[in-house]
Structure 1
């Protein structure tokens, strides 16, 4: 469980292909603060740490990524040197600064437009059609693991306003039209839709 408040930028140090892809990530986190098997959000995807080593500055950790995750997220496009948004898992008692984020990417969106005005950044993103019903004006959405408020919605397109601080401390400030991003819709919207759609067998419509 996460909140969509990015706490560090990591950098891909190595990628090892195989039945399960192993990705090595350098981060400023202290190695002793990790435990094997803990979960960390990488660009919005919850991944399990299978190895952790201290570095001169920070830590180097390894995650294993399944073919399913590679197919449903942007992680398959990562290369050595790629920067990624990182967030540690939420602890009981932590401040809930964003919204409830599970780290389960629902789909990949595409940046259609970017406008920079007085330090602010306005993005327009196209979501997969299957996710459009879950995105509401003034609702929450996680984009590459960052908790954001939706400013406007038009069919499967939605607009975001990124404050200068968020653009500076996450990878969002580097996004340009044509870039692909991981999307996770608000979990409450997802369950509300399921409750509306679900009808036990024999229930009158």
Structure 2
């Protein structure tokens, strides 16, 4: 479990093909390695990955085909900067929101512009995720806990303050057309499950739609 508050930045040092999937090696001079051990979870650009090897300032993780297919990792290259967050402790100050590190899909940045000292961003999420977003809700983007200022159909509007831009990989790797990892608020996932009941077991395509909400009295 994570909070979406980025601890440090890392650099992808190796990407090795291993029997059909990938082993990544990430190096960081700012991440605290003193309490890292084998089997620990580290969110890497929002993806919960398990440490399988580590050294003084690096760790290695194995990445499955499922993760490669569902995330923006397929576009990563050696030398890229990634956002890092170690799994939270029970004593951790909860500064963001509940983040599982299970990426739902990939979004595309469609607009970036200056807004006073902040950066205004419009992020297009897949149609399958748009009903999980809400104005003034939370969304995890490349592991960063962000507040959605406004939602327009499948466009999520965000404002990035200077501190966030400087402490994450936004300044280096976000641009119009860039693909980013998206994790929706876990509360929205469970709410859908409660509303659908057994319908998802009858049809793998079942989802919350405007018609479903109207049929069940949630819209007029």
TM-score by length of 1: 0.93
Q: Which moved more, 1:156-165 or 1:27-36?
A: 27-36
Q: Is the 8 A contact 1:166 1:173 kept in 2?
A: no
Specify the SS of the correspondent of 2:34: helix
The Cα offsets for residues 129-158 of structure 1, whole Å up to 9 and x where unpaired, read as 000000000000000000000000111111
Question: Size of the alignment, in residue pairs?
Answer: 198
In 2, the alpha carbon distance for the partners of 1:119 and 1:85 equals: 22
Q: Does 1:180 align with 2:179?
A: yes
Specify the SS of the correspondent of 2:93: coil
Counterpart of 2:10 in structure 1 is: 10
The Cα offsets for residues 117-136 of structure 1, whole Å up to 9 and x where unpaired, read as 23210100000100000000
Specify the SS of the correspondent of 2:187: helix
Question: Shift in Å at residue 20 of structure 1?
Answer: 2.6
TM-score by length of 2: 0.87
Q: Which moved more, 1:135-144 or 1:12-21?
A: 12-21
The 5 A counterparts of 1:69-88 are 69-88=67-86
The Cα offsets for residues 82-132 of structure 1, whole Å up to 9 and x where unpaired, read as 000000101012111000000000010000000112321010000010000
The 5 A counterparts of 1:68-147 are 68-147=66-145
- Give every structure 1 segment of 4 or more consecutive aligned residues whose post-TM-superposition deviation is greater than 6 Å: none
Question: Shift in Å at residue 37 of structure 1?
Answer: 0.6
Q: CA RMSD in A?
A: 1.4
Q: Which moved more, 1:28-37 or 1:90-99?
A: 28-37
Q: Which runs of 5+ in 2 are unaligned?
A: 202-215
Q: Is the 8 A contact 1:3 1:96 kept in 2?
A: yes
Q: Is the 8 A contact 2:4 2:143 kept in 1?
A: yes
In 2, the alpha carbon distance for the partners of 1:29 and 1:172 equals: 18
In 1, the alpha carbon distance for the partners of 2:156 and 2:192 equals: 19
Which is richer in strand? 1
Q: Is the 8 A contact 2:9 2:31 kept in 1?
A: no
